[in-house]
Amino acid sequence: MNLIIENATIITMSKKGTIKNGAIVIEHDAIIDVAKTSEIKRKYSRGYERINAENKVVTPGFVNTHQHAAMSLLRGYADDLPLQEWLEKWIWPLEKHMRSEDIYLGALLTAVESIMSGITTVNTMYHYAEKGNEAEAFAEAGLRGVIGHVCFSWRKEHDKKALEHLARNWHNAKNGLIRVSVDPHSPYTVDAEYMQELRKLTNELNEKYGSVSKPIIWHTHIAETEDEKEKIENTFNVKLEGGVFEYLDSLGVLGDDVIAAHCVALTPKDIQIMRKRNVKVSHNPVSNLKLASGISPVPQMLKNGITVSLGTDSPCSNNNTDMFYLMKTASLLHKGVSKNPTVMPAEQVLKMATINGAKALSWDMEIGSLEPGKKADLAIIDFKKPHLCPLYNEASHIVYAANPSDVETVVINGEIVMENRTLQKINIHKLMEKIEKTKECLLARLRE
């Protein structure tokens, strides 16, 4: 598609900053120019579809760096419980009855909700099956994503076969929309030897299917709760002298391709190691608050130059994919804890939701900002709303006042996937009917 979006306020998240009365020129899947509308009109006259974005703000599409997309099927199933009880007594027992078609439908529902929230890229960790999986769902919806298979010590051979099939069939697939990750679940469910084996496997898969510019990355939960160190010690009969990152560093598995979700219970030495190894972080404030896991020391990580992005976590522990609420919560939470209103300003949080998210996924050469040469992933937000009036600062409104219903149009890889709040690829009502029927079948299998 050749498209010009004009008369907009464009938050580029690049050195150009915010362009008032700006325009973006898209050819096929890429941005070829970003400038003032008057300049764009002089340079590009014919052969383009046009969107008049007057009174609207254009941002890079949001990047959600930690999800379990298929778990939208479990939204609201087990709330108000501690993490360990939530997982072991409720979530894992029900998940045992999920079929591959259930995983596909759950991921499709999350993909739809994500797009309607202005999210254009999702990093998801779940159980991969050859038929009926999250990759298929994202591809059908037109959503960009990193698809991972979650690995546990109790199913090593199964994991390795699944990862090989996932990488071979999906890495850099669907015109580059889909990438792949290797996902050790956590240090307390994956033993030391298997952690090292998965690191070696990641390198091997990259040699076969990845590249320096399009790598297969690592995605894992680390230091989610204060008792994680004890859980590792008790599960694997080991003794940890320091923090969880110290333990993982001793195994030689950390690197700049690792995105660590949560990072709540960190020692000062952990933060030094994260900086040294260039580990990226997915901050999940809403999920961490809901499960009472604690508060990640994000301001300290940022001061140490660590790349911190934002993740919603699953629709089962959040319970939605609302990036606006996530941004606001991230900002307000750390202001309140630090008793400093200057901590986590709107511009910084918006950066975490866009270009930092792209960096965390090793995808920042193609997405995360609006500049020539990058893929055309963007959201058009309607600012002609009472709750966004009057307007002094666009970034502040996006972080503190806007909501998903303000997202009018979404473009991913140069294709309009939602226009005027209407999805172009998925029938929402039919999907919701299928989801309700699937839920009833899932519960029936649990009761059998």
Task: Check whether residue 83 and residue 50 sit in a common domain.
Answer: no
Task: Check whether residue 215 and residue 130 sit in a common domain.
Answer: yes
Judged by phi (left if over 0) then psi (alpha if -120 to 50, else beta), residue 175 lies in left
Exposed e or buried b per residue across 168-200, where buried means at least 16 C-beta atoms within 10 angstroms of its C-beta:
eebbbebeebbbbbbbbbbbbbbbbebbebbbe
Q: What is the pLDDT of residues 122-156, one digit of tens each?
A: 999 999 999 999 999 999 999 999 999 999 999 99
Q: Divide the 448 residues of the chain into consecutive groups of 10 and give the mean pLDDT of each group.
A: 96 97 98 98 92 98 98 92 87 92 97 98 97 97 98 98 98 98 98 98 98 97 97 96 96 98 98 98 97 96 98 94 98 98 98 98 98 98 98 98 98 98 97 96 90
Query: What pLDDT does 213 receive?
Result: 95
- Please tell me the distance from the alpha carbon of residue 281 to that of residue 264, in angstroms, as a whole number: 10
Q: Is residue 392 part of a domain?
A: yes
Task: Check whether residue 182 and residue 108 sit in a common domain.
Answer: yes
Using the Cα atoms of residue 148, residue 149, residue 153 and residue 159 in order, give the sign of their dihedral: negative
Structural domain for 38, as ranges: 2-60+368-423
Q: Is residue 441 part of a domain?
A: no
Q: What is the pLDDT of residues 431-447, one digit of tens each?
A: 999 999 999 999 999 98
**Angle value at C-alpha 402, between 52 and 178, nearest 5 degrees:** 75
Task: Check whether residue 382 and residue 342 sit in a common domain.
Answer: no
Secondary structure class of 12 (helix, strand, coil): coil
Task: Check whether residue 293 and residue 179 sit in a common domain.
Answer: yes
Specify the number of domains making up the chain: 2
Q: What is the DSSP string of 284-314?
A: -HHHHHHTT-----HHHHHHTT--EEE----
Q: Is residue 442 part of a domain?
A: no
Task: Check whether residue 8 and residue 90 sit in a common domain.
Answer: no
Q: Is residue 225 part of a domain?
A: yes
Q: Is residue 417 part of a domain?
A: yes
Task: Check whether residue 87 and residue 18 sit in a common domain.
Answer: no
Task: Check whether residue 147 and residue 17 sit in a common domain.
Answer: no
> What is the chain's length?
448
- Give the residue from 311, 327, 360 where a domain finishes: 360
- Give the residue from 344, 360, 376 where a domain finishes: 360
Q: Is residue 97 part of a domain?
A: yes
Q: Which helix (H) or strand (E) holds 218?
A: strand 217-222
Q: Is residue 448 part of a domain?
A: no
Query: What pLDDT does 46 receive?
Result: 85
Q: Which CATH number goes with the domain that contains 53? A: 2.30.40.10
Task: Check whether residue 45 and residue 189 sit in a common domain.
Answer: no
Residue type, 255: G
Query: What pLDDT does 313 receive?
Result: 97
Task: Check whether residue 257 and residue 272 sit in a common domain.
Answer: yes
Do 442 and 97 touch, CB atoms closer than 8 A?
yes
Q: What is the pLDDT of residues 236-277, one digit of tens each?
A: 999 999 999 999 999 999 999 999 999 999 999 999 999 999
Using the Cα atoms of residue 42, residue 44, residue 49 and residue 53 in order, give the sign of their dihedral: negative
- Give the residue from 360, 382, 409 where a domain finishes: 360
Secondary structure class of 29 (helix, strand, coil): coil
Task: Check whether residue 301 and residue 239 sit in a common domain.
Answer: yes
Q: Which CATH number goes with the domain that contains 69? A: 3.20.20.140
Q: Is residue 418 part of a domain?
A: yes
Query: What pLDDT does 118 receive?
Result: 98
Query: What pLDDT does 304 receive?
Result: 98
Q: Tell me the whole-structure pTM to 2 decimals.
A: 0.97
Task: Check whether residue 98 and residue 220 sit in a common domain.
Answer: yes
